[in-house]
Structure 1
């Protein structure tokens, strides 16, 4: 049985980089926003460094961010996750039934007069998280192996279900309800490419690192020497990605503050409801702290990289749909960082069935 420690004790053992993570994240957001707003041509220059519709600076940041966490995964333990039917079924229902439906309801309830932003938020709700959630889960002391499995499961469903769900929530369901309809033209190859880059590459790299490292140097060396050296790069990659994300749309965000507030309201409600509901679900079905935390963060997070790419490809880089996608991480990053601390506080009062 694992040993539990209080959140203050956990925080006390963290490095300065980890301990002041919220401060660094807020600074990264500010640097990105100010750079995109006041540095001439920065946003278009960053946006122009793309390959196949994928921003190379964002891809670089995400790869650096995800590799150390995926290198920590004990891949020989994944069967203990795939055999947990409660976790797998709960994740599928939360991510692919309740999540999109909740975002659809909130978008129509809070943005009935803003169709572009409403459509953008519905697209965000369809893009289930496959990247940053790994960082939030790790910071909250969730189950790394479970996070790897659930993220991979989301990726597979994303390739096959994203376009179909987009058609249902933007065209079919509004038609049934007598609401305005919207077409979403998105290629499954574009989604598959996003999954391959943002998850496939760091997942393969992390797996090979552990296999080769343990075979050549042993598990003790790998976990006590190698992992501590590469660990900080996860947060470096996170901060770099945040700067790039906000620099790309800094001018749009700072020039339309009231629109940002309107978009933020349904997002705040979405993250709070999804995280709290998923956390309650985990406890209700008897999961331990680690897997309940993983379930909550994988259900609450979204793949904003994919949502932004789809919105830009379908509606244009200056569209309201693209702005709604960009506002997503502006709200998600500080909210989920706060929820990391809520998780660590709840960890002190947790009593596992064991």
Structure 2
């Protein structure tokens, strides 16, 4: 069991390239605006629940330097270091990152063009990851559409399917992002060609909204080789001596050692004597029938609710249970109110 858990965690780190931040050093949250203007430029307000359990009412207002980032990141300026302050007027807002509405360019816009319509931000304050300053934010110029390409409201229904087909054929965000990641790791995010490629990606991200596509990638913007941590067998690979590259090779080494130990281990698991109930054979067929019926019911529930795994079914059941408890509590309060 320990080996299986270790392999699962190593595979997650190796494939997703994600490392969990301790909950007392950072959170993932959505952003909102300080409409009343309590925050000054360069300040944010963040109050979070001490524990992830919704039953725990304890809250913490973080005060001090914080770093904010969102995915995807295409320039060094997308990582912003700002100051979190306490603001009594905003204490009614919990588990949401509050941005100021005064000053020049909004902080959220400096973070790879983010906004406040549901974008997720990662805010953390680990001292080992903090820097005393932020790099200048990227400033990409968005071209205006031609008059000939604009459509009226009455033309949308007829022309949208045509544009949708064109968009699906010409969309290059994925390919451009992969090449940007490779070139940025090799040349650095401040390299002139890397910055130009990031500008193309920024235009491509808005292609579906404004109908303006970026220029195609040129030869020097397309990598003929991929770093080994991308695990693409169709291209030659090379090794990078950076954090992601070292993570990949270390994970692979440990996984291979665990698999080698498992292959050499010829021992069989020892059955707990408490599980070996005397006379269980008499109920074997009945237990198997009940198990098969249970599996059938689970399959039906997954099919009816469009679920892909038993884990999703468990989450759905937990949410329904919480809703039932909440509804029961509301009914009780309603009855007490009528008394």
TM-score when normalising by structure 2: 0.22
Larger radius of gyration: 2
Flag the structure with more relative contact order, 1 or 2, with Cα contacts below 8 A and sequence separation at least 6. Answer: 1
TM-score if structure 1 supplies the norm length? 0.22
Where is the helix percentage greater, Structure 1 or Structure 2?
A: 1
Query: Which protein is richer in strand relative to its size?
Result: 2
